[in-house]
Structure 1
Amino acid sequence: MVGEFYKTVSPALIARFKEREENVKSDIFHAYITLLKSTKPAALTTVDPDAMDQEEGPIAMLQSQVPSIIKALHRQLKEKSIKTR
């Protein structure tokens, strides 16, 4: 389920980081933080080198979205609004 959120919801939230209304922007950041908190690595029960290669897992999807997240957040840090920063 979290993997599906990274395919659909995460790109939409990242695109909305540039929202003009401060309260809406704050809600978007909180929603993305909640998504990040729900993405926890599975407990290491057994270490299988072949099982470590999960291309479509939530962590892999998050890692692929890091450049767009950094780019969007960099724009926000340039703004004058203290609430956003």
Structure 2
Amino acid sequence: MSMADGEQPRNAGSRNVSDAPDARGAQDAPGDVTDAQESDAARRRRRAQFLRELHEAKQLRDRVQPRRARAARMRQQMRMRTFRW
């Protein structure tokens, strides 16, 4: 899967690339608590978005590969049966 020159990755639009320098700059400024809190909130928003997309991708994979999904469920059940508290 190689991309042609000038092509963007598919998920590049979902992330705010400009947030990363702001987050670092907010931590460098002494006493700017509000900027640090905003960057922390932005990080949590990006993480939540990433986890939503990851969950959606796993559901899609399970739908298009039902045999593999069933085998994974069976392995998980076996792990849970043999787990000792």
Q: Which has the higher contact order (CA 8 A, sep 6+)?
A: 1
> Comparing both structures, which one devotes a greater share of its residues to helix?
2
Of structures 1 and 2, the larger Rg is shown by: 2
| Bin for the TM-score computed over the shorter chain | 0.3 to 0.5
TM-score by length of 2: 0.38
